[in-house]
Amino acid sequence: MSTAHIGFLGLGSMGAPMARNLLDSGLAVTVYNRTRSVAEAFGSAGASASIAETPAGAVVEGGIAITMLANDAALEDVTLGPDGILQQLGKGGLHISMSTVSPETSKKLAALHAERGSLFLSAPVFGRPEAAAAKKLWICQSGSNAAKQRAKAILDILGQGIHDFGEDPGAANVVKLSGNFMILAAIETMAEAQALAEKNGIDRTMLANFFGQTIFSCPIYQNYGRTLAERAFEPAGFKLELGMKDVRLVRDVAEASMVPMPLADLLHARLLTSLAKKRGKQDWTAIELVTAEDAALR
C-alpha cells in the first residue's frame, strides 16, 4: 500500500526527530502539535512539512497517521476528539500509535478503528531523542498482520529493528512498560551503588566506568551510569514526570493481572518524592538525588 501521505501528531523531544527522518526520506508529511508554536519552530528549522490546525487536518482519508504523544489522555484526544483523526482516516486508513500508553487504551482504539474500516498498530519504541534522530530506535509492535505489512516501510525508516509481539494490540504496550520498569530499576540500582561507593571514598565515575566496561557492559548501564555519576539531569532526555506516568501504568497493569511488583512500589515512592521536590522537568535519573539525600551526600 502507498505511504504517500503521513500525518505525524506530536512533536516533542522524540516526535520531532522522527518526523524529520520521514521527511528526509522523501515522504509527504503533515504535522500537528497541540502547541502550534512548536510546529512552527519545527518548520522554521528547515523541515518541509505542512502544518495542520487540527489533528484531523493532519491526515487524509485512507492515509497514515502516526501518534507520538505524552500519555493516554493526549492520544485519546487527538484520536477521538471533535477534530480527531478517527473519522478522517476512514476506510483503508492506518493509525500507528508509538506512544507509551496502557494496553487497554490500545485495545479500545483498535476496536474503534476496526468499526470504521481502518487499521491500528501499537508500535512503542525504546531509545532516547538522540537514538530517534539517528534512526536507532528499537520498535515493538502488535496488531493485525495487515497493519504490520503497511507500516513496515515507515518503521524501517525510524528504527534499527522491529520486534513483533502478536496480534493483541495491547501486547506491545505491556512490553514497553516492562522495559521502562526495568530501566528505572537499573537506575535505582546504580544510584544506590554509587552512593555506597561515594560514602566510602570511591569516585562515582570510576565505579560507573568499571561496571559499564565489565560485568554490566550494555548501553543501559553505560549511558545511564555516566549520567548518574555526573548528575547530568538537565536537559532531560526523558522527563521524570513522564517516568511517573509510566510507573503508574505498570502498577495498574500489575494490579489488573494480579502480579505483585514490590520494586515498582519503591520506584513509585522515589518518583513521588522527586515530584514533591519539584524535579518533574529533570531527567528521570534525578531520582538519584533522593538516594543521595537519604545517604547524607547532599
CATH number, residue 18: 3.40.50.720
- Which pLDDT score, from 0 to 100, does residue 1 have? 37
Find the catalytic residue in 148, 176, 239, 245: 176
Does residue 95 share a domain with residue 44?
A: yes
Q: What are the residues facing 95 on neighbouring strands? A: 65, 120
Q: Give me the number of domains the chain comprises.
A: 2
**Last residue of some domain: 167, 192, 214?**
167
Does residue 234 share a domain with residue 200?
A: yes
Looking at this protein, which amino acid is placed at residue 250? V
Closest Cα partner for 21 from 87, 84, 98, 75?
98
In three-state secondary structure terms, 32 is strand
Task: Say what the pTM is.
Answer: 0.95
Does residue 139 share a domain with residue 42?
A: yes
Does residue 258 share a domain with residue 111?
A: no
Give, for all 298 residues of the chain, the pLDDT tens digit. 345 699 999 999 999 999 999 999 999 999 999 999 999 989 887 778 899 999 999 999 999 999 999 999 999 999 999 999 999 999 999 999 999 999 999 999 999 999 999 999 999 999 999 999 999 999 999 999 999 999 999 999 999 999 999 999 999 999 999 999 999 999 999 999 999 999 999 999 999 999 999 999 999 999 999 999 999 999 999 999 999 999 999 999 999 999 999 999 999 999 999 999 999 999 999 999 999 999 999 8
Q: Which residue has the cell 483523526?
A: 85
**Last residue of some domain: 167, 201, 223?**
167
Domain that holds residue 192: 174-294
**Last residue of some domain: 152, 167, 182?**
167
Task: Please classify residue 135 by burial: count the beta carbons closer than 10 Å to its beta carbon, then call 0-12 exposed, 13-18 middle and 19+ buried.
Answer: middle
Q: Which residue has the cell 555519576?
A: 229
Active site residue 176: yes
- Which pLDDT score, from 0 to 100, does residue 4 have? 66
Does residue 161 share a domain with residue 259?
A: no
Does residue 211 share a domain with residue 151?
A: no
Does residue 150 share a domain with residue 21?
A: yes
